[in-house]
Amino acid sequence: MTKRVAILISGGGSNMVALAESMTGDHPARPVLVLSNDPDAGGLRKAADMGIPIAAIDHKPFGKDRAGFEAAIDAALRAAEPDIICLAGFMRILTPAFTSAWEGQMLNIHPSLLPKYKGLHTHARALEAGDEEHGCTVHEVTAALDDGPILGQARLRVAPDDTPETLAARVLPLEHALYPAVLRRFAAGDRTRIDLQS
């Protein structure tokens, strides 16, 4: 049975594109919705151009009403009946009420080698720490931020002249390789960890 995948984005959606483009042929999953918290997210146009249903629920009108925003997101998701939800450059923090409702079905990609550098500014923090290795992680989403079971990591050597910008640019292609590889395995019911080395 083909698994239905919803992808949540906030911006350009390069990870969404990589995921959507991977779901072809004998892949056990297909994209059924791309949803953004920003109606102007560039990824929405890309998804529409790929023929994927899109939706936008602007978080700004909800102000501090996080529960109200998440209820709207949840309703849009349930209408699409996803088996799997992929957070892909989705920049809103989700409450435990939301994550628990989808636990075991929701993945996220984070631009660090978790458990290092949960949260933001991961590339700058890795450079400040003088790390020789850096990369990205795909994990299951649980109540704690950037903390769920790790399903895959991709790593690279930090270059002496790397800046946060150059590091982000070198990690992004690793994300585009790792996330589709993990999704394919996860959609087949296989949680065996994937490790890629650049």
Minimum distance between the CB of residue 27 and ligand GRF, rounded to whole angstroms? 19
Contact letters for ligand GRF, residues 71-110 (x by CB under 6 A): -----------------xx-------------------x-
Residue 31 touches ligand GRF, criterion: CB under 6 A = no
Among 73, 175, 178, 184, binds ligand GRF (CB under 6 A): 175
Among 8, 9, 20, 183, binds ligand GRF (CB under 6 A): 9
Specify whether the CB–CB gap between 127 and 158 falls below 8 A. yes
Residue 119 touches ligand GRF, criterion: CB under 6 A = no
Query: How many CB atoms sit inside 10 A of residue 196's CB?
Result: 16
Q: What is the 3-state secondary structure (H, E, C) of 187-198?
A: HCCCCCCEEEEC
Marked catalytic residue, from 27, 59, 110, 121: 110
Containing 179, the helix (H) or strand (E) segment is helix 164-187
Specify whether the CB–CB gap between 86 and 34 falls below 8 A. no
